[in-house]
Amino acid sequence: MNVIYVLWLREVKKYLRSRAQIIASLGTPLMYLAVLGFGLGPVFRRAGEGSYLQFMAPGVIGMTVLFTAMFSGIAMLWDRQFGFLKETLVAPVPRVQIMIGRTLGGATVAMLQGAIIFAVTLVAGFRPTSLLAVPVAFLIVALIAVVFSALATAIGSSLKEMQGFQMVMNFLVMPLWFLSGALYPLQGLPAALAVLTRVDPLTYGIDGVRGLMIGTTHFGVGVDVAVLLAVGVLFVTAGAWRFSKIEV
């Protein structure tokens, strides 16, 4: 368990020391909040759906957590390239502990980034229906972070070059977010799009956060949590298996 804590703490400290990264990572969420949140607000209200900022703020939080968690796989490739991963793997500890420590570290960093964006949405005008629901909503945010940190570990364990990971990210991360219902309601979608949204794990994460923060949910918070737990177990298992196959 000490190895898990050390690797978790390393990832968190590395994030906290990188102030430039923290500031730079605010750019895309702020752009979506400003351009879409305020730009499409009048259209959303005329459609009878209320405040678009209220609707999309949970989606922007989910986007931030997704991006940060997935990019934790790049950190593993850097460690592999510069030899830190090799030093870790030759230690006399089970590899599954190393994988869990790295995954939890990446998930914690993603949660911290999500908390920052949540604070930004409050400044922009987002108002949860109940402050008591916010801590519970962040438990779902934690599940999102673990799910996609584990996926990033599985992908990072399968690749050896940074370029390969970047290609995977381009073809995976943006579709995951755009299909999640972060920017549009899930009701009344065409059949093909409705199917795609249902196989996207992020859909259930954003739906759960939205349900707790503003009281609007498509599947139900219970279903959202159950799906995230199931996918989390699957991805953590896949990540542990792929990590165990890394050659020193």
Q: CA torsion, points 48, 53, 57, 58, in degrees to nearest 10?
A: -10
Q: Choose between 7 and 54: higher pLDDT.
A: 54
Q: Which residues contact 228 (CB under 8 A, 6 or more apart)?
A: 140, 143, 144, 147, 201, 204, 205, 208
Quote the pLDDT of residue 20: 67
pLDDT one-digit tens code per residue, 65-100: 998 888 877 777 777 776 677 767 776 777 788 888
Alpha carbons 238 and 73: distance in angstroms, whole number: 14
Mean pLDDT, residues 143-171 = 82
Q: Of the spans 3-12, 167-176, 235-244, which averages the highest pLDDT?
A: 235-244
Instruction: Return the domain boundaries, the chain.
Output: 2-244
Give the angle subtended at the CA of 209 by the CAs of 175 and 131, to the nearest 5°.
150
Instruction: State the average pLDDT for the chain.
Output: 83
Work out the pLDDT band at 61, boundaries 50, 70, 90: very high
Q: What average pLDDT does the segment 209-218 reach?
A: 91
In whole angstroms, give the CA distance from residue 7 to residue 237: 19
Q: What is the pTM of this model?
A: 0.89
Give burial (CB, 10 Å; 0-12/13-18/19+) of 219: middle
Report, as an integer, the average pLDDT of 151-172.
78
pLDDT band per the 50, 70, 90 thresholds, residue 35: confident
